[in-house]
Amino acid sequence: MRPGSLLSALKRDYQLWIMVLPAIAVIFIFSYIPMYGVQLAFRDYDFSKGLTGGEWQGLHYFKQFIDSYLFTDLMRNTFFISFATIVVGFPAPIVLALVLNQIRRKKAKQLMQTTVYLPHFISVIVLVGMLNVLLSPETGIAGHLMKAAGLGHINLLASTSTFIPTYVLSDIWQHCGWNSIIYLAALSTVDPQLYDSAKMDGASRWQTIRYIDFPALIPTIVILFILSMGNILSTGFEKIFLMQNALNLPVSEVIATYVYKIGIVSNQFSLASAIGVFNTVINFIFLFAMNAISRRVSNTSLF
């Protein structure tokens, strides 16, 4: 670029720069400056020499993790839970938004909206507590229902086959409504004239959804989907940890809970950092792949 055009671009855009500068400053200071700490994954942690003074170990801690006894199990469980959450959990708020958008009566719509948003405000600890109470095979309502349905004595929280469905469905219960807000906001931007002309053309409401509402959501869907792929190896820590018990452990031990366990017992900062970096790198790969695909296919991309 010629310096002249650079200058003129700056001159033209100076107002834009002023508007974006505060955000850049904040992100640079609070997110980028502390990043020097990442080297911990490649070094021993040595308090007396400071955070970055420990001996350089290269990929030692990465190897330690990859060679570790639980590595395959952890990867499998983490991928599995993430995929299940994305496959089932990602479309749910979209569907919900489309449904809510169809309710014509204002009061009813308000009531529905308010209700479905509520669970989002509940803390994870409480949510898991509720699951325990409600799903108890002995005393919970789920237990009573299953007995009545002749399904017998199933403990949903304590079986390797029901853990993931329980996890995913409760997650949808809690966050689906809240996550639909974005989509509802996007639907609100649809030009009403479009609806009017659709009506005049005799389109049914199914068709309106199919040809007007859904296309309006696509940019949002794409962006959110890319981002969610970028978190493919990141499962919720708190909830899984709280839902873990000896019986579901074979499917519920994920990277995050494992890092917690080794980190908390012995402050093994370096190993924990290395696992974190490993995790991030995988997430990045997915993020980039999705971003590239989507830029080509739908012309929408994050960056």
Partner 1 sequence: MVRHRLSGGEIVFRAVLFALCAVIFLAVAYPLYFIVIASISDSTMVATGKVLLFPKGISFFGYNEIFRDERIWTGYRNTVFYTLAGTFVNLLFTLPAAYVLSRKEFKARRFIMFAFVFTMFFNGGLIPTYLLMKDLHLTNTFWVFILPFCVNVFYLIIARTFFEASLPPELYEAAAMDGCSHFFYFVKVALPLSKALISVVGLYYLVGHWNDFFTALIYIRDNELKPLQIILRDILLSNQVFAGGAGTGGASGGYAQKYADQIKYGVIIVSTLPILVLYPFLQKYFEKGVMIGSVKG
Partner 2 sequence: MRGQSEIGPHRTDNDADQTILLAILFEGVTLVRKRIHLLLSLILVVSAVLAGCSGSNGGDGNESVNEGSGSGGGSGEKVKLTAVITKHPLTKPLGEMEWLQQVEDAAGVDIEWQEITADWGQKKGTMLASGDVPDLFVGPNVITDADFAQFQGLFQDLSELTEQAPNVQQMFAEKPETKAIATQRDGRIYGLPKYQAFWPDTVNRQYINQQWLDNLGLSAPTTWDELYEVLLAFKEKDANGNGDPSDEIPMDWPGGIGGYFNPAVLLGGMGITLASEVSGQGYFVEDGQVKNFLTDDRYKEMVMFLNKLYKAGLINPEVFTHDYTKFQSVARGEGDTAKVGFTWGWVASDRFGEQVAPQYASLPPLKASAGYSGPLSWSYDYYSMNFGTNHIVMSAKTKNKEAAMRFINELYSPKVGIQVLFGSIGPNIKDNGDGTYAVLPPQDAKMDPGTWKWTSTWADNGAFYISDSTELTLGTDMQEVLTHSEPLKGVLEQVNPETDVYPAMFIKYETADNNAMSLNNTNVMNLANASFAKWVTKGGVENEWDAYVNESKKAGLDQNLEIMQKYYEEYMSKQ
Residues within window 227-256 making contact with partner 1, judged by CB under 8 A:
227, 230-231
Q: Is 30 in the site for partner 2 (CB under 8 A)?
A: yes
Contact 70, 56 (CB under 8 A): no
- Using CB under 8 A as the binding rule, the residues of this chain from 70 to 99 that contact partner 1 are 96, 99
Which residues partner with 56 through β-bridges? 43
Which residue number, 92 or 213, has a Cβ lying nearer to partner 2? 92
Among 7, 27, 87, 297, binds partner 1 (CB under 8 A): 27
- Using CB under 8 A as the binding rule, the residues of this chain from 124 to 153 that contact partner 1 are 126, 129-130, 133-134, 136, 138-141, 143-144
SS (H, E, C) 240-265: HHHHCCCCCHHHHCCHHHHHHHHHHH
- The DSSP code sequence of 119-176 is GGGS-HHHHHHHHHHHH-TTTSHHHHHHHHTT-----GGG-TTTHHHHHHHHHHHHHH
Q: Is 132 in the site for partner 2 (CB under 8 A)?
A: yes
Which residue number, 49 or 199, has a Cβ lying nearer to partner 2? 49
Q: How far apart are CA 244 and CA 276, in angstroms?
A: 21
- Using CB under 8 A as the binding rule, the residues of this chain from 270 to 289 that contact partner 2 are 271-277, 279-280, 283
Among 28, 32, 36, 47, binds partner 2 (CB under 8 A): 47
Q: Is 185 in the site for partner 1 (CB under 8 A)?
A: yes
Q: Is 298 in the site for partner 1 (CB under 8 A)?
A: no
Q: How far apart are CA 137 and CA 87, in angstroms?
A: 28
- Using CB under 8 A as the binding rule, the residues of this chain from 155 to 194 that contact partner 2 are 155, 157-158, 171, 174-175, 178-179, 182
Structure token digits, residue 52: 């970055």
Which of the listed partners (partner 2, partner 1, none) does 155 bind, with a CB threshold of 5 to 8 Å by partner kind?
A: partner 2
What values do phi and psi take at 160, rounded to 5? -70, -25
Q: How far apart are CA 89 and CA 236, in angstroms?
A: 13
Among 23, 148, 246, 265, binds partner 1 (CB under 8 A): 23
Which of the listed partners (partner 1, partner 2, none) does 262 bind, with a CB threshold of 5 to 8 Å by partner kind?
A: partner 2
